[in-house]
Structures are given as structure tokens and as C-alpha cells.
């Protein structure tokens, strides 16, 4: 793998995990030494992180890790809502019904996974990832998918900040089930509305937990 890819992945992972806290200053030389590569691949990695929106130019000279805030979460969800509503609608129109029927079957079993705790949770998250993939495949729209991928990046950061709440996950799996069934049935309207409802609940949950974290935890 290329050095610039490794640098990008590691920095990205550290930001998502919070090891590189918001407002941390990223300097080329410093990070190059820490990651054991030269400045060139680090510059490339920085550029990609800026494009992801995980890092911003604070002054003319100096990049910092972007902040997370309740306000930002709300903004992200305004975008996410627009994109996923549309994606669900298009998936219902174009998707392979069998793929989504199979997903429905697995979402029905998902509460069991959540109940398994540590053992089942990775499988639950895999399922959600497969759901996202199935949507992307179904919509066949490079622009829309690219926008969704970017949203998911920020979402991953929020997810890791919030604790896993089993009750919420069980509820979410039921919401996913409805969405998947609507897509399998080719009901674009229902798919969009079910997505809307799901995202509303998801947002409410995250806003509450993120608020708690930001107050209690690190100083933002």
C-alpha cells in the first residue's frame, strides 16, 4: 500500500476514534515524523481529510481537527435526510427485490444479535453496512453514493462518540426492517417515509447522547 494511503487511513481513524481530539493542530512535519513517512504523503493525506470535512484550515497556516457539536449533528442530519430519502425512493424503484427480501429476513433476526452483546454487535453493524451497500448498488448513482459515503464518514464519528444503546439498536433494526420491506415491495413513497422516520429517531437519539458526552467529557 502507498504511504499516503496509510497516512490517510491512520489519521482518519484517529480522528473518528477521538484520539486526535477536535481542535488538535495538525502540522506536516510533526505528523510525518510520528507516522514515519515524509511530508509529501502527509500533505496528500491532509488534503483528503480536508475534503472529507474532518479537518479544516484554521488560519492561513495550520490545520485543525473539526469540532463535533449538537449543532453540527443537526446539520449533518439535514443533509442525511435529504440524501437517504432520495436513495430509499430510488432503491424502491430500481432495486433487486430478492436482495432486499434477504436483508429483511436478517433484520428480523437482528434483535437477537444485539442481545448477544459483544459477540453479536459486530455482526449487527456488518448488517447495517450491507444495508448501506445494497442501497448504493440499487440506486446506481455515482453522485448520490459519493455524497452518502461522505455523510457516513461523519456519522461514524458520531457513532463512536455515542455509546451503543441496546434498546435503540433493537428499535433501529425494526425501522430498518420496514424500510427494507418497502423497498422490496417497490413502494417508493413508503420507503422514503420510513427512512425519514428512522432518521428522525436516530437523530434524536444521537443529539441526546452527544449532548451528554460533550458536556460531561472533553471540553469542546
Contact 167, 155 (CB under 8 A): no
Q: How many residues bind DNA (CB under 7 A)?
A: 21
Q: Which of 57, 58, 18 is nearest to 158 (CA)?
A: 18
Using the Cα atoms of residue 48, residue 54, residue 58 and residue 61 in order, give the sign of their dihedral: negative
Of 59 and 143, which has the nearer Cβ to DNA? 59
Which of 3, 21, 35, 147 lies at the binding interface for its own copies (CB under 8 A)?
147
> Which partner in its own copies, DNA, none is near 81 (CB below 5 to 8 A by kind)?
its own copies
Give the residue among 20, 80, 75, 69 at the shortest CA–CA distance from 45. Answer: 20
Nearest to 170 by CA among 134, 209, 205: 205
Query: Minimum CB separation from DNA for residue 2, in Å?
Result: 3
d(CA 85, CA 179): 10
Binding-site partner at residue 62 among its own copies, DNA, none, CB < 5 to 8 Å by type: DNA
Binding residue (CB under 8 A) for its own copies from 29, 116, 146, 220: 146
What is each CA distance from 122 to 100, 105, 129, 133, in whole angstroms? 21, 18, 10, 16
Rounded to whole angstroms, the Cα distance separating 187 from 183 reads 6
Asked if residue 23 binds its own copies (CB under 8 A), the reply is no
51 belongs to the binding site for its own copies (CB under 8 A): yes
190 makes contact, choosing from DNA, its own copies, none, with CB < 5 to 8 Å by partner type, with none
**What x/- string results for residues 148 through 187 when contact with its own copies is judged by CB under 8 A?**
--xx--x---------------------------------
Contact positions vs DNA (CB under 7 A): 2-5, 26-30, 37-41, 43-44, 59-63
Amino acid at each position: 500500500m502507498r504511504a499516503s494511503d496509510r497516512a490517510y487511513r491512520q489519521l482518519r481513524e484517529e480522528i473518528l476514534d477521538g484520539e486526535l481530539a477536535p481542535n488538535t493542530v495538525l502540522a506536516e512535519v510533526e505528523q510525518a515524523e510520528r507516522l514515519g513517512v515524509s511530508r509529501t504523503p502527509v500533505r496528500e493525506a491532509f488534503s483528503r481529510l480536508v475534503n472529507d470535512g474532518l479537518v479544516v484550515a484554521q488560519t492561513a497556516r495550520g490545520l485543525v481537527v473539526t469540532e463535533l457539536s449538537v449543532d453540527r449533528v443537526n446539520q449533518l442530519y439535514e443533509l442525511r435526510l435529504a440524501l437517504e430519502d432520495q436513495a430509499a425512493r430510488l432503491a424502491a424503484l430500481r432495486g433487486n427485490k430478492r436482495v432486499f427480501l434477504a436483508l429483511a429476513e436478517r433484520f428480523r433476526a437482528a434483535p437477537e444479535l444485539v442481545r448477544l452483546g459483544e459477540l453479536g454487535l459486530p455482526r449487527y453493524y456488518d448488517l447495517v453496512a450491507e444495508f448501506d451497500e445494497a442501497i448504493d448498488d440499487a440506486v446506481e448513482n455515482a453522485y448520490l453514493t459519493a455524497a452518502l459515503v461522505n455523510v457516513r464518514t461523519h456519522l461514524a464519528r458520531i457513532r463512536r462518540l455515542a455509546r451503543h444503546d441496546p434498546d435503540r439498536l433493537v428499535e433501529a433494526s425494526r425501522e430498518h426492517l420496514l424500510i427494507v420491506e418497502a423497498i422490496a415491495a417497490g413502494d417508493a413513497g413508503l420507503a422514503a417515509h420510513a427512512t425519514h422516520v428512522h432518521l428522525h429517531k436516530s437523530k434524536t437519539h444521537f443529539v441526546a447522547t452527544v449532548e451528554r458526552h460533550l458536556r460531561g467529557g472533553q471540553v469542546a
